[in-house]
Amino acid sequence: MALLPDKPGVYLMKDDKGRIIYVGKAINLKNRVRSYFQSSRNHSGKVLALVAHIADLEYIITASEIEALILECNLIKKHRPKYNISLKDDKTYPYIKVTCEDFPRVYATRKVLKDGARYFGPYTSAGAVHETLRLLKTLFPLRSCRNLAAKRPCLEHHIKRCLAPCAGKVEQETYSDMIKAVTLFLEGRSDAVAKNLKRLMAEAAEKLEFEQAARLRDQLTAVEKIMEKQNIVTGSGDQDAIGLARSAAGICAQVFFIRSGKMVGRDHFILLGGEDETNQNILEAFIKQYYSQAAFIPREILLPLELAEQQLLADWLSSSKGGRVQVETPKRGTKKDLVNMAAGNAATVLEEQAVRLEADVDKTTGAAAELGQYLELPTIPQRIECFDISHIQGSETVASMVVFEDGQPNKNEYRRYKLKTVEGKPDDFKSMQEVVGRRYRDALEKGPIPDLIIIDGGKGQLNAALTLIRAAGLTNVPVVGLAKEFEYIFREGISEPLILPRHSQSLYLVQRIRDEAHRFAITYHRKLRSKRNLVSVLDHIPGIGAKRRKALWDHFGSLAKIKAAEVEALAKVEGMTFPAAEAVYNFFRNKNL
């Protein structure tokens, strides 16, 4: 501790396995790190837990506190430490991308790259992104294809949804004007879009380009309708108003987007790991993580409360934007009303989440408990394993095992089996015996042991499976059979089936488990069948043997992709030669497969 410098920087706390569990910044590293280990301080439960797990400490000295802040943001985003406050799943938020091409495309993406493109977001809802893209497609005839070398326009052009730059039907300058309008629209500057469209429409009319003028008029009408729905909330300028709410359901930050004085949208974000933190710490963590990945930073950010690092955050945001950014905590007036409205909306999100959580409990752990009651099990079946068989007239027989824990699928525990003992005439009884025998042969030693086993099938499959399961030593694990048509449940030693209430959550849970097992088995069966069909087709190509067949499959993954590949791409596959690639290419073209 005494070796820590009296300088600004970032500190990384690690556990006994070398994992980074907390990242922090400080203007004085020695004083900040020492404060964690002072017993005189009234630490929260979270800090006490953090300190108990610290096995190593690393620090990075920076030239200034703002550099430390930037580095802290980057390290938290990279390592996602356990004890830092974090945006829920922030890495998967969707953006709208406007590509950097002669004739740019506009589409949704979840990856932000340094490729010269413009990104708008992040959005918390993929649905909101796709709705915006649908609206853009209605307003502007943007190209969606990747091929700019087509000789003739596609259907999109004929139905007036694309200007067909691929076929040379539009000048680059005209298309660029449209892209400028698109970016203005995505920035929320509908008034600038309308002004620009009026200018272009007047220019087209002067040049007697009446068809172009009519298209611009229709776009202008649509934009003006959108502008009517946008509320003017402040005099002018670009602002983000942030509201914060906390409840037993979690922590939520809501951001209102005001562009050119108009409310153009909003987003909410759930924050994790802040239960023991103050509102100030939560808000600071949110601002750092949100604006470190935001595609646009406004000139003014309105906060619900004062922050100790408010000026530092303003300096950091200004450097990120390349222009002055004010971080303000309004006390009265319209700006204060905006922040209060954002906080109210954040509280509403948490209320809705609490209702959803309650419903989810009914559908998951509650449904498992209800199923246990109907089956008269001694305990709630926390781990349920279900088996299904799939084949076509006995060929490519496969089996699936899906696992539900606390009423929810645990896909990491799923298993699939290519059965070996049954070929030719189908025999579901022997197939089920093989798969449960392979699953539970060493279950007592290796685990885990399920609380309930479901066999997808009636009495016959149940009895066939029971023989092997009991022989493996699982004498106390309940095993039931599920009839395929009506979800009748057959139990060991009971002749009459159990019929669950029609609209009960336990029945819905059983149906979800059965459907998931069936889906998983069918998916595997199709994959094997596709691979077998691929091999049989490639068998007819001269120069393609077993090794090259496998190399082609591993490289392309499907018959359709092999058929569509050009000679150069085929020749790049390991083990392929140019003549062999030509043989594959010509085979599919000549056979017309």
The answer to whether residues 271 and 286 touch, using CB atoms and an 8 Å cutoff, is yes
pLDDT of residue 228: 55
Classify domain 368-526 at the CATH topology level. Answer: Nucleotidyltransferase; domain 5 (3.30.420)
Pairing of strands 383-392, 452-456: parallel
Token representation of residue 71: 């580095």
pLDDT of residue 329: 94
pLDDT beneath 70: ranges in the chain: 1-2, 40-41, 88-93, 124-125, 149-151, 188-190, 222-236, 391-396, 421-426, 485, 525, 528-536, 591-593
Q: What angle do CA 30, 36, 40 make, to 5 degrees?
A: 110
**Interacting residues of 381 by C-beta distance below 8 A, sequence separation 6+:** 368, 371, 372, 375, 450, 451, 452, 478
Tens-digit pLDDT profile for residues 501-520: 888 889 999 999 998 988 88
Q: Identical fold at 239-359 and 368-526? A: yes
Residue whose structure tokens are 């909003």: 266
The answer to whether residues 415 and 425 touch, using CB atoms and an 8 Å cutoff, is no
CA 252 to chain centre: 19
Nearest to 306, CA basis, from 338, 339, 273, 276: 339
Provide the CATH number for the domain formed by 540-589 in this structure. 1.10.150.20
pTM: 0.54
Q: How many angstroms separate the CA atoms of 235 and 238, rounded?
A: 10
Q: Where are the domains of the chain?
A: 9-84, 95-229, 239-359, 368-526, 540-589
Domain 239-359 has CATH 1.10.3210: no
CA dihedral 529, 533, 536, 537 (to 10 degrees): -170
Tens-digit pLDDT profile for residues 28-82: 998 899 888 887 667 777 888 888 899 999 999 998 888 999 899 889 888 889 8
CA 419 to chain centre: 34
pLDDT of residue 592: 47
CATH architecture of the domain 9-84 equals 3-Layer(aba) Sandwich (3.40)
pLDDT of residue 544: 82
pLDDT of residue 328: 92
